[in-house]
Chains A and B, each alone.
Chain A
Amino acid sequence: MTAENKRNEAMMPDIPDEKFTIIGIDENAGEVLARKRISYWQDAWRRFRENKIALVAAVILIVMIFFIIFGPMISGYEFEEIDNTAINQGPSAKHWFGTDNLGRDLFARVWQAGRVSLIIGLVGAFVASIVGSIYGGIAAYFGGVVDDIMMRIVEILLSVPYLLIVILISVITDSKSLGTMLVALTLTGWCGIARIVRGQMLQLKSQEFVLAANALGVSPIRIILKHMIPNTMSLIIVAITFDIPGYIFSEAFLSYVGLGIQAPQTSWGALCAAAQQNFMFYPYQLLFPGIMIALTMLSFTLLGDGLRDALDPKQRK
């Protein structure tokens, strides 16, 4: 025994002998996890909650959706009700957002228009993401020549500016209903998601846990359901959130250019286009639908940012 050892011993309080009996490894203790482990979705939800900006965006969207559903009823006017005695009025107690050049109540019209814009945004994004996911999934699943051809098609479609295709299809279909507009908007809109899904699927296919599941004899269907879809889901959710404002904007653009929704139906873009003519004199007519478009797009973008940060496992700390 060295001198230092003796010193150490002297420094320590006297320890009873029975403390020095070997007890070895407690086999059960090892299984008890010291800290509570959190699942992916719990963790994502925690991160999302911490993102105040995304939360505010979500609240704004909920409020807007409430008004889009109930706004036209609250106003007390029909959105197509023409009143020659109240043309181009500014905002007042009677007409909260004022009236347009036909004396129609803008509060009712803005929310009515919101229905069209929002439906286009939501339906467009969902249709595109479903078509895109299936397309991308098929390409990734089959691989090889099928994948090559399918992705070449996507590349060609993406090599034409998006708005040009939308304009072209709108000119050709020329019916200006909600349905044909959706067709025009989604005809190439799914390409982006198809690429994302394919990329993610291919990456997953080669990853260890999928290989391991494969080696363990887990059925392909189970692998797809248990591993591929949940791991792609977050990407698709984020893509949808970013696509919605894109479709709302494209619709607004089309309507603004005169290729969009036809009277008596209206959308935010159509309202903006109508207001543009008298903009110098009645700027508020452009202001309200303009704010709505901006606010919706802003909220969806911020929500998408928040979702992406929350769902991206790479940023997990």
Chain B
Amino acid sequence: METNEKILEVENLHVSFHTYAGEVKAVRGVDFELKRGETLAFVGESGCGKSVTAKSIMRLLKPPVAEIKPESRIICNGRDVMKMTGKELYAFRGDEISMIFQDPMTSLNPTMKVGKQIMESLMLHRNMNKKEAREEAVRMLKMVNIPGAEKRVDNYPHEMSGGMRQRVMIAMALACNPKILIADEPTTALDVTIQAQIMDLMRELKEKMNTAIILVTHDLGVVANFADRIQVMYAGQILERGTAKEIFYESRHPYTWALLSSVPKKGNESKEELYALKGTPPDLILPLNECPFASRCEYCMGICKEQNPMETSITDTHKVSCWLMHPKAPKVKSFYDREGR
């Protein structure tokens, strides 16, 4: 089912955290949209604002420390999330949009049976009674490939392994068949073999249920075979966006090159070292009047330190915020060697 229906539009998203040291501007004007059934990945280092962006969509950040600036617009299914009242928000979360978190060890209530935790959202949004919800919970557990689901439904979280718990999280998030699933680093806390299993499961379910997915990760390797589109984030901004193909094979931004070069290549026989970025991301408390990546960029130019570049369209889907796209800029070649892949 390939439609172009936009189910989520985010415009000019600004999020700040009010701390002792000052206002940390974690997200600085992020725009993006999501179509039905599509998979979008946010990629970037820790602290780049990808997770904050994801949580903002559900308004899960806690005021008064966190603040979504009033100029931000979040439209989901034609409804303005920013203007939702408490009740509307409760009905919205878990039903139309749901979320999986990073650490399955701490993200499940330790004193509540996993079945009950799945049943909770079913009874809230689907008006099921206990019996129906329980049956549905068992069905969901089967769907995420948990063996012996009829028994597991009465397990407590600590009686399960990490991978199993993350499956429960997925079952819980998909219980009400949401249109959007946000997966915030869903595999980071898991073993490598389990990671692959969880990603396979998510891919399978995505196709089955036609759920749009926002995948938040720092690991480009996870994204490769999974995402339709990728947005590379840095210091609260989107530096480059495009289809998976465009990002992996035709990337234009030096930061994207750096990210790609830091992923080990398959069958790389040479003793070539993995690329490591020098320096640290900019302090998000300070105002930023330059390209946020300027101080770490090998291709930094004078203009980069004076003005933040605007977004340049390469194709309809591929957009880059970099002064190198300016006609006057020298033509540089990526140091990321695509032949190696």
Contacts and interface: CB of A to CB of B under 8 A. Distances in A.
A and B touch in the complex (CB under 8 A): yes
B128 interface: no
Question: Residue among A20, A24, A29 with the most chain B CB within 10 A?
Answer: A20
Contact of A23 (B301, B306, B313, B315): B301
B336 to A, nearest CB: 17
Nearest to A18: B302
A34 B283 contact: yes
A19 B301 contact: yes
B59 to A, nearest CB: 22
Interface stretch (B175-183, B232-240, B324-332): B324-332
Given A26-B295, A34-B286, A35-B285, A9 B327 contact: yes
Given A1-B327, A4-B313, A21 B295 contact: no
Contacts of A11: 310
A30 interface: yes
Contacts of A9: 326-327
A25 interface: yes
A46 B299 CA distance: 41
B278 interface: yes
Interface in B1-37: 19-21
B326 A25 contact: no
A22 interface: yes
B234 to A, nearest CB: 16
Given A19-B302, A23-B301, A34-B283, A317 B21 contact: yes
A23 B305 CA distance: 10
Given A2-B313, A5-B325, A18-B302, A25 B279 contact: yes
B243 to A, nearest CB: 16
A115 B329 CA distance: 79
Contact of B310 (A8, A19, A26, A46): A8
B107 interface: no
Nearest to A43: B20
Contacts of B280: 30
Interface residues of B, number: 33
Interface in B272-324: 278-280, 282-283, 285-286, 295-303, 306, 310, 312-315, 323
Contacts of B302: 18-21, 23
B307 to A, nearest CB: 8
Given A4-B312, A19-B306, A20-B323, A25 B297 contact: yes
A17 interface: yes
A3 to B, nearest CB: 9
Contacts of A46: 20
A1 B323 CA distance: 14
B20 A5 contact: no
Contact of A24 (B279, B299, B328): B299
A20 B332 CA distance: 12
Contacts of B285: 35
Contacts of B313: 2, 4-5
B63 to A, nearest CB: 15
A24 B304 CA distance: 10
Interface in B247-275: none
Nearest to B18: A317
B328 A317 contact: no
Contacts of A2: 313-315
Contacts of B19: 317
Contacts of A15: 303, 326, 328
B298 A25 contact: yes
A20 B330 contact: yes
Contact of A35 (B286, B295, B296, B312): B286
Contacts of B20: 46, 317
Contacts of B325: 5
A196 to B, nearest CB: 25
Contacts of A25: 278-279, 295-298, 300
A317 B329 CA distance: 41
Interface of A: 1-2, 4-5, 8-9, 11-12, 15, 17-26, 29-30, 34-35, 46, 317
18 contacts: A2-B315, A5-B312, A5-B313, A5-B327, A15-B326, A19-B301, A19-B302, A20-B323, A20-B330, A21-B302, A22-B299, A22-B300, A23-B302, A25-B279, A30-B295, A34-B286, A35-B21, A35-B283
Given A23-B302, A25-B295, 20 more contacts: A1-B327, A4-B313, A8-B310, A9-B326, A9-B327, A15-B326, A19-B303, A20-B303, A20-B329, A22-B299, A22-B300, A22-B330, A24-B300, A25-B278, A30-B280, A30-B295, A30-B296, A317-B19, A317-B20, A317-B21
